[in-house]
Amino acid sequence: MRLSMRYLGTAVTFVFFVAMFASAYAQQERVPEAAAAYQTGLEQLEQENWEAALVAFSQAVEIDEADVEALIGRGDALRGMEDYGSAQQSYMGALLIDDQLARAHYGQGVCFREIGDVNSAFASFNNAIDIDRNDPEISADLGDLLVNNTEDVTTAMRLLDKAIELDPTNADAFRNRARAHAVLGEQEEAIADLLKSSELDPTAYETFDTLARVHLNEEEYDEAISAFQQAIAAYEPEKSNDPPLYATGYLELARIRLRLSTQDDTTPARREELYEAVIGDTEKVLEEFPDQMPEAGFAYYRQGQALRMQKRYGESIKALTEAIQLIPGGREGSYIANAYLKRGICWHYQGQDSLARPDFEDAASIQFEDPLPHLWLGYSYAQEGEYRKAIESYGDAVAKSPNFALAYMNRGLAYMQLGEFSKAVDNFNEAIRHEPTQPEHYFKRGVAHLRREEYQKALDSYDMAILYDSEIAKYHRGAALALRALGHESLAEQQEAHVRELEK
């Protein structure tokens, strides 16, 4: 976004008058009255009393129209008031008097960045740093722009190193250097910089947010949760249009808790704690944004996920329906396919497969490469005894993902129900090929071989299941059946003894 022609015309008219004084001003000291007003402006600027600073700097400019430092100060005050257009006029007035004013170029760069004109911001910051390479703010902000808007992290790192060297108290510079380290895969260095940044400014929620994402990238979920909690605690709106609640933090917390709940080493009690925490996180968002997208949509979606995992299917259906209905007509939210899928799963567990299937079909039509909706369609048909339709759906899942062992397993089970044991064995073998360490695959194949009276093959399958998990009674029971069919009575009794021991 460029300055409007109205602003440009005003600025040119203004500086045309003062430019006559430019060469003389360079050799003269500031007029005493202008100097006093300028000093007052600096003091007010330091205290972030933007309006008082603006008044003082404007007085200085009225006394001496060619006072470039007062023009820059006035621009800084206007920038503090978020009046970027007027700030640009003031900086431009100073630059038209002297185009070698690094702070004026810098001020323009900040204004351009704030209004979203990144290319012009780059140009202004580069102009500033060409003039003054020892201003830590210029190096820090140009590094910021490079880290967050380009892939040139090497140049950004050099600039941020310089900024920190010149001003080791700049918390933002440490945070941005941490982001550069993270992009380069230097996680330990990133965390060290973020901890330093939080030490310098414990009120900057962005630092804790960045720390959380670094931990998340390393799958350090508990550390990520702690950092997001710190980000939420530190958050306070800075601008008039900032939201009153750090909804992103709460939604990220909910997402991480859900991910942590799926880890193999998470205990059932811990999972329940995590689900309750997800519901609490999302309720906080919904209290502030009951119907605003995307905040409310994602809150309802994550809440629906947690409720489903708690087997509170009716409540989950309600939350997921809210999430789906909040998406404007004709548009697809990023979560909509999963919301349909998960709502369909809830319907399925309630025994309402005629409601579940349309949701699975909607999910499949949106994410047409995803095998999961087809797998669940298969489950829904199998639950109603429609095994041919189930086999067809499992086949669609396999077509989407040829390595999908679960689809092969369930297609094999459907063939078992139809008495087609040879086809069942073929599917169990495909499941074994893709997941050769899963004992259940071998057990199911053993059952199919037993039904075909292929007792040695059945025994071999049960033995493989026992090799992978010797603590499952049904594996030993299957081996006993095969051994007895082969005439090995004493060995069968040994397996049955194992069963009795395991079932104590």
Instruction: Express each pLDDT in 147-206 by its tens digit.
Output: 988 878 999 999 999 999 999 999 999 999 999 999 999 999 999 999 999 999 999 999
Per the structure block, which two tokens stand in for 13?
Answer: 């008219």
DSSP, collapsed to helix, strand or coil, labels residue 100 as coil
The pLDDT, as a whole number, for residue 17 is 33
The pLDDT, as a whole number, for residue 20 is 34
The secondary structure of residue 99, as a DSSP letter, is: T
User: Is residue 38 within 8 Å of residue 32, measured between CB atoms?
Assistant: no
- Which string of DSSP letters, residue by residue, matches 216-242? HHTT-HHHHHHHHHHHHHH----STTS
What amino acid is encoded at 28 in this protein? Q
How many Cα neighbours within 13 Å face the side chain of 325? 8
The pLDDT, as a whole number, for residue 395 is 97
User: Is residue 431 within 8 Å of residue 405, measured between CB atoms?
Assistant: yes
Q: What is the pTM of this model?
A: 0.78
Distance CA 333, CA 134 (A): 47
- 480 CB-contact burial (10 Å; exposed 0-12 / middle 13-18 / buried 19+): buried
User: Is residue 250 within 8 Å of residue 232, measured between CB atoms?
Assistant: yes
DSSP, collapsed to helix, strand or coil, labels residue 23 as helix
How many Cα neighbours within 13 Å face the side chain of 9? 3
Provide Rg for the chain, Cα atoms.
Answer: 34
Per the structure block, which two tokens stand in for 62?
Answer: 């009225």
What amino acid is encoded at 153 in this protein? V
Distance CA 131, CA 496 (A): 87
The pLDDT, as a whole number, for residue 29 is 66
- 484 CB-contact burial (10 Å; exposed 0-12 / middle 13-18 / buried 19+): middle
Count the neighbouring beta carbons within 10 Å of the beta carbon of residue 417.
13
How many helices (H) and strands (E) would you count in the chain? 28, 0
Name residues of the chain where pLDDT drops below 70: 1-30, 330-333
Find where tokens 């997208």 sit: 293
**Domains within the chain, CATH numbers bracketed:** 1-132 (1.25.40.10), 144-230 (1.25.40.10), 243-368 (1.25.40.10)
Distance CA 173, CA 499 (A): 65
How many Cα neighbours within 13 Å face the side chain of 42? 8
What amino acid is encoded at 78 in this protein? L
Distance CA 161, CA 139 (A): 9
Q: How many residues in total does the chain contain?
A: 504
